[in-house]
Structure formats: structure tokens, C-alpha cells
Amino acid sequence: MNSSSNNSSKHIVQLQDVSRIYHQGDAVVRAVDHFSLDIERGDFAALCGPSGSGKTSVLNLIGGLDVPDEGEVWVDQINLATLSASQLSSVRKNHIGFVFQAYNLIPVMTAFENAEFVLNLQGVNETESRERVMSILKDVGLEGLEHRRPDEMSGGQQQRVAIARAIVTNPAIVLADEPTANVDSHTAESLLDLMQKLNHEKGITFLFSTHDQHVMDRARRLIRLRDGKLEEDEIRREVLSRKS
């Protein structure tokens, strides 16, 4: 995998003049249009904008789930444009945590097994894997629920399992695509409390794609997109933090 010492280590993500182009009949759609962005270590940032603005497309490019037609995407000092499909899979497995709005848990697996799944893919030994999973499940408030399957858990609990799975590998960044979309407002606030705590106490970098005002209120950085272009990049000194 191609890495570069020229990219500052404080930058977890760098998008350099990136475009993603789709063809719909005779029309050419630039879902991402000459877009540049740096995400720094420890950021708690949100991509926001109207439907069709390019939020999910940007997240997919950073996550190596899609490839740009123009420009470069760097994650943890690795140039994704230089990688094969198997190398991209390795980057996703070892450098990136994913949280999806639909949870994407494996129905037949328990909370423990879902959280452990990527560690098994990484070849982590059983003793270390168990210690890490049990510690993370405790961190996300699921201690005692490790043997429950997804259909035995609430939506909020399932999303906590998804968060545990995303962070148990100690990724460089967690990409969260509409993580509060399928839960009620109280549960959304609880999940955001959890992710803010993980960001503050463990230094985990989060990048959200969201329409949810709850998420935007909590983000320390709001990255607004419109028509695939960067409209505004706002660093905020004061954000909401619900007191328990």
C-alpha cells in the first residue's frame, strides 16, 4: 500500500480535488465535484446538506466503498487510488470503522459475536479478542447483554453493538452514515452522548453523514455540501453536550 511522509500525520483523511461522476442516460451527474477536505485526528465532524448534495458519496469514497473518477483520497496516509480491490478491503478492515443507519448486524450472531467479527477477520487471538470485546461492550453500555441476538434488542441497543463493532479494532476513523435515522429522538441523544464520550475520552475520530439536527448540534465541525461541492466548513467552539 502506498503511503507518503508528505501527508501530515494529524490528517486522518485527505480528499484532494475529488470528483465522482455518474451517467444517467445522456445526462452527466457530478455527485462529487472537485471536492477537497482534510479530517484531522480527533475530529467530531458532520457532513450535512440537502438530499443529493453528495454527503453519502463522499463518505463512500473515504470508506473505500467507491472510487473517484478524478483526484485522490488518502486515509491514514494511504492513497486509496493506488490500491487493488483486496487492498481496499484490507484498509476497510484495519483502518476504518463503519456505523450504518440500518445497523447491518448479523442476525444469527449475539452482540458479542457481532462485535468480535472483524477481530476474527484480523486474526486476533481468542484471549485478546474476548478482552477487547467485553471492554468495548461495557464502554457502550451493553455489559450483561453480550449473549443477546439483534432481534432480542431495541434499536438503540443494536446501534450500540454496531458502534462497538466499529471501534473494537481501534480504527483511524469511524464513518457513521445517518446513525440516528432509525431511532427515536431520546435514543438518538443517548447514542450521541456515547459517541461524544468516546471522542472526548478515547480520542476516536468520527465523521458523520446526516440530516439529523441532533447530530449537527453536537458536531464540532459542520461541513456543508451542495451539488457535490463544499459550501461551508464551519469549526465551532461551542456545541451542545447533554448533561446526564
What's the pLDDT tens digit per position in 75-121? 999 999 899 999 999 999 999 999 988 889 999 999 999 999 999 99
In whole angstroms, give the CA distance from residue 36 to residue 15.
Answer: 5
The answer to whether the beta carbons of residues 219 and 44 sit under 8 Å apart is yes
Q: Which residues contact 231 (CB under 8 A, 6 or more apart)?
A: 49, 224, 225
Residue 144 in 3-state DSSP? coil
User: Is the CATH number of domain 42-64+84-235 3.40.50.300?
Assistant: yes
Greatest Cα pair distance in the chain: 56
Interval 18-67: pLDDT, tens = 999 998 888 888 999 999 999 999 999 999 999 889 999 999 999 999 99
Q: What is the pLDDT of residue 12?
A: 95
Q: What is the pTM of this model?
A: 0.90
Q: What is the pLDDT of residue 102?
A: 85
The answer to whether the beta carbons of residues 180 and 217 sit under 8 Å apart is no
Residue 212, Cβ density class (10 Å: 0-12 exposed, 13-18 middle, ≥19 buried): buried
Domain ranges of the chain: 42-64+84-235
Residue 243, pLDDT > 70, answer no
Alpha-helical segments (H) within 140-182: 155-167
Interval 136-185: pLDDT, tens = 999 999 999 999 999 999 999 999 999 999 999 999 999 999 999 888 89
